[in-house]
Structures are given as structure tokens and as C-alpha cells.
């Protein structure tokens, strides 16, 4: 009651002084300022995941990526456009790694969800009964004792599982190995080198000593294997995506002449470390990250773009073509 009396006492003098319109203007402006401030507080921001990976399960999309120092975050969406933060899918307290939780990918295999991720520049596997987690590190430990990053699972038509990943030494290079049935250990004698820096677009004079082919993702189309990868230093505005093709997983990989397939789309820079997924309608899409702006790398932002294979009279194999219509995923607070 005291509050109500004080409010009335403040309004009446304005009426008596015949400044009602002025008072109302002040009140309206004050209300607008409050509403504007509130709108700013609830403004929807963009999904900020580097090395993004999208899983579709049970009619819901799940997004994972590089972002948190505490582990691997997960976001969910019904439509790829609006995303909700769901917490940590993997908490670093549930595994050996302590820093640099990078490039997670999650796959559903026989009712279980397997997460391949990097921690402390080593490759690990975690498992969960839900895409939301909690994922627990599988006890077999790192897949390799040496430094390695960017693991990606590929299961061939005959059910044989393979892992592509990056090893160090003379730069970042892409390697491939067959997995054992446990999906968390490499089969002896199957490790093969696939790609290293070799094409002109993969070099940036601003980073003259950097030799990078990384972030591999393997898909199969019309009986051919398409090994996609990112090149240049991740800090470079020329960071982009290329593709190499092989007739089999034991054959030599040939980088296509039309590389890069993604670089600097619609004025965005630092476009790379991608993954592929299919929508609910079966459309093939690419998820990738970009720099925050032309002057700032972090936090990197997530985008989606359609992808398709097209026939070209000048190409012996179908061309992997990246569309131009971007989906900009937003994050609700």
C-alpha cells in the first residue's frame, strides 16, 4: 500500500502543472527503453560450435562441436533452424582428457551411441544409451599413443568399420585404418596414409610454414569413395574444404581439380572442418564453421548448406557440389 501511495503522489503533480502530455511522453519513453533492454537480453544468438557434427535420431537433430573447456556440449533442434542447449553430453570428469575437447562425432550403432572425439590431442571413444549423454569413455583408452586428432567413423556397405583421422609429423595429414569389432581399437596392419598438403589452394602466404590437411569426412557415392578434408591453418581466412576420390579404400586418393568445394562462401571466411548429414527428408547437407568475423576468429560460428552430386561432362566422376543457400542456426537462451 505504501508503494501505491508513493506512485500516486509522483503522478498527480504533473497533472496539476498541466504537463500531462509531457509526462505521458516520459512514461512511454521509459517503457520503451525497458522493453528494448529486455528484448536485447533475450535476443536469439547464433549457434557457435566449431568442427560441427549433426546427428538425426528419433526425429530430432543433435549438434556437437568444439566449444567448452569442460567437455562436449550437445544442442537439439526439431528443424535445424532453432537450437536449444541441452548441457554437456560428455563431461571431462568421465574420461582421461583434461584439455582441448575437439571435433566430436556421434554415431548410433546397434542401439548405442558412440562418440569419437579429441582430448589432449589424442583420440578417444565414449559411449552412451542416449544422444544427450552422459557419454562415458570406453576403457580401451586412446586409439593411438601418438598425437592425433579429428576422428571420423565410416562404415562400408559390407559392415566393415573404418576410422579416418589426422596424424602429426611434417604437418597435419589424413590417415585411415580399419576398426575392430569393439569400435574403439584399430586393426593391426590396416593403417594407411591418405592425404597431405599438395594443391596450391591449400597454402596461405600468411602462414608459410603451415602444412595442413585435416578434419576428414568420408562418404560413398555411385561406388566411389569421396574423402573430404579441410586445408590451411584454421586461423586463415582461406581455410576451406577439398575432396579426393578413390575406387576403393586401399587405392590411391586423387584430389579433384575443382577444389576447393567450399571456401569463402557469401563473404564468410575460415569456412571449414565440416561434416555431412541427411535431413528428415533425406537431403544431403554439410555442416561447417566459420570465423566470427573478418577480423576475429573466435568464437567460431556454425552454418549448414545443401550438397549434391552432379554430372559434369568434363569430370569422369560425379562432382561434389556445394549449394549457396545457407541455413543460419540460431540459439535460444
Predicted confidence at residue 40, as pLDDT, reads 35
Per-residue pLDDT, 139: 78
CA–CA distance, 211 with 259 (Å, rounded to integer): 17
* CA–CA separation, 183 and 161 (whole Å): 7
Residues 6+ apart with CB under 8 A from 146: 167, 168
What distance lies between CA 60 and its chain's CA centroid?
17
Extents of the domains making up the chain: 2-41, 45-332
Over the range 36-72, which residues count as b (16 or more CB within 10 Å of their CB) and which as e? Answer: eeeeeeeeeeebbbbbbbbbeeeeebbbbbbbeeebb
List beta partners, residue 149: 166
- Environment class of 171 (CB within 10 Å of its CB; exposed 0-12, middle 13-18, buried 19+): middle
Q: Are strands 71-77 and 60-66 parallel, antiparallel or unpaired?
A: antiparallel
Distance CA 302, CA 72 (A): 15
Weakly modelled stretches of the chain, pLDDT under 50: 1-43
Q: Check: CATH 2.115.10.20 for 45-332?
A: yes
* Nearby residues of 229 by Cβ (< 8 Å), 6 or more positions away: 174, 195, 213, 214, 215, 216, 217, 241, 242, 243, 244
The DSSP annotation for 276-328 comes to EEE-TT--EEEEEEE-SSSS--PSPEEEEEEEEEE--TT-SS-EEEE-S--B-
- Assign 67 to helix, strand or coil: coil
Q: Which of 140, 212, 206, 214 is nearest to 179 (CA)?
A: 140
Q: What is the pLDDT of residue 140?
A: 73
At CA 321, angle to CA 319 and CA 322, rounded to 5?
A: 160
Question: 154, 178, 152: which is closest to 166 by C-alpha?
Answer: 152
b/e map 243-271, b = 16+ CB within 10 Å: bbbbeebeeebebbeebbbbbebeebbbb
Amino acid at each position: 500500500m505504501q508503494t501505491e501511495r508513493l506512485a500516486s503522489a509522483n503522478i498527480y503533480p504533473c497533472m496539476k502543472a498541466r504537463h500531462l502530455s509531457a509526462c505521458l511522453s516520459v512514461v512511454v519513453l521509459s517503457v520503451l527503453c525497458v522493453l528494448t533492454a529486455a528484448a536485447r537480453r533475450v535476443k536469439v544468438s547464433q549457434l557457435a560450435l566449431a568442427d560441427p557434427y549433426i546427428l538425426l535420431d528419433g526425429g530430432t537433430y543433435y549438434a556437437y562441436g568444439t566449444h567448452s573447456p569442460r567437455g562436449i556440449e550437445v544442442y537439439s533442434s526439431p528443424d535445424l533452424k532453432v537450437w536449444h542447449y541441452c548441457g554437456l553430453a560428455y563431461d571431462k570428469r568421465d574420461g582421461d582428457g583434461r584439455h582441448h575437447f575437439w571435433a566430436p562425432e556421434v554415431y548410433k550403432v546397434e542401439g548405442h551411441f558412440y562418440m569419437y572425439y579429441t582430448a589432449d590431442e589424442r583420440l578417444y571413444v565414449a559411449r552412451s544409451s542416449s544422444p544427450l549423454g552422459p557419454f562415458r569413455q570406453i576403457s580401451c583408452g586412446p586409439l593411438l599413443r601418438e598425437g592425433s586428432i579429428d576422428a571420423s567413423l565410416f562404415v562400408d556397405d559390407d559392415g566393415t568399420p573404418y576410422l579416418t583421422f589426422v596424424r602429426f609429423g611434417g604437418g597435419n595429414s589424413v590417415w585411415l585404418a580399419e576398426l575392430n569389432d569393439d569400435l574403439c581399437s584399430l586393426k593391426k596392419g590396416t593403417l594407411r596414409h591418405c592425404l597431405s598438403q599438395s594443391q596450391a589452394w591449400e597454402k596461405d602466404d600468411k602462414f608459410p610454414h603451415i602444412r595442413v590437411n585435416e578434419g576428414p569426412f568420408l562418404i560413398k557415392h555411385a561406388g566411389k569413395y569421396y574423402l573430404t578434408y579441410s586445408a590451411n591453418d584454421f586461423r586463415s581466412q582461406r581455410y576451406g574444404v577439398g575432396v579426393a576420390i578413390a575406387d576403393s579404400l586401399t587405392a590411391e586418393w586423387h584430389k579433384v581439380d575443382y577444389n576447393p568445394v567450399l571456401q569463402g562462401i557469401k563473404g564468410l571466411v575460415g569456412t571449414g572442418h565440416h561434416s555431412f548429414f541427411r535431413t528428415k527428408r533425406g537431403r544431403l547437407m554439410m555442416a561447417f564453421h566459420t570465423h566470427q568475423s573478418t577480423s576475429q576468429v573466435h568464437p567460431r560460428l556454425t552454418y549448414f548448406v545443401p550438397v549434391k552430386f552432379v554430372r559434369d561432362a568434363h569430370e569422369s566422376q560425379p562432382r561434389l557440389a556445394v549449394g549457396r543457400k545457407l541455413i543460419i542456426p540460431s540459439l535460444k537462451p
